[in-house]
Amino acid sequence: MADPRPLDLSHPRILVTNDDGINAPGLQVLERIAGQLSSDVWTVAPEMEQSATSHSLTVRRPLRLRHLDTRRYAVDGTPTDCVVVAARKVLKAHPPDLVLSGVNQGSNLGEDVTYSGTVAAAMEAALLGLPAIALSQAHSGDHRFHWETAERHAAEVIRRVAETGFLADSLVNVNFPDRAAGEVAGVRVCPQGRRDLDAGVVEGFDPGGRPYVWIGDYAGDACRIGNTDLTAVADGWIAVTPLHLDLTERDLLDRLREAFA
């Protein structure tokens, strides 16, 4: 088994992206977090919100790259597009040492990682051989987002992850609890969970009387299995979860080999 490769954060070039769009408050938070780690921070983010676009790539139309400010760009595409354009165009001469995606406006826990554009951007970075971390700020109810929680704790989490190192085709998913910065219980390294309830479908009628169906949000983050990202965040911990891009189911692989032998 390969050993993780530590990342030197003494003078890193950091690429920042997200799925909530170039004007999202979480992106501004992440730019400040990255600024705590480096003076060489670049932002390449979607022009518009791209939540739940997963690991999608735009291939049937050209993309527009807009230069907004010093080291700051917008792409009229998906988070995956942004990472590709950043690595192969904007920063081609000097690729980033670290890719940070987020801070997402809402958690990315359990099954969310298969839908999330935030996690997908980190996935694309990992595919390109770049160390990557996805960051999300949990939120529920009608109170304000605790952006200060991610802003206060993220830099130290990133440092610890970098010191531990990254494996090929891997990324790290970080979720901050829906608590004030001073009320965080700590950091818990845990596996990806699975919610007890699936996403629901809401039925209704539009103003013209035409029926529609709307895929709704999950009813909650309840998880019967303990020590997962879902339970950690619910209990007020920062959840740190390593993810791998190889989706091969090894046990079934062996059984299928036997079946087709």
User: What are the structural domain ranges in the chain?
Assistant: 13-193+224-259
Paired residues of 42 in beta bridges: 15
Q: In sequence order, what are the residues at sequence separation of 6 or more whose Cβ sits closer than 8 angstroms to the Cβ of residue 249? A: none
Q: What is the pLDDT of residues 26-57, one digit of tens each?
A: 999 999 999 999 999 999 999 999 998 999 99
How far, in Å, CA of 210 to CA of 207, rounded? 7
Q: What is the pLDDT of residue 202?
A: 87
Q: What is the pLDDT of residue 223?
A: 57
The amino acid occupying position 206 is D
Tell me whether residue 104 is annotated as binding. yes
Instruction: Give me the CATH code for the 13-193+224-259 domain, please.
Output: 3.40.1210.10
- DSSP for 174-241 reads EEE-SS-GGG--EEEE------SSPPPEEEEE-TTS-EEEEE---S----SSSSSHHHHHHTTEEEEE
pLDDT of 163 > 80? The answer is: yes
Tell me whether residue 51 is annotated as binding. yes
pTM of the model: 0.93
For 132, the 3-state DSSP assignment is strand
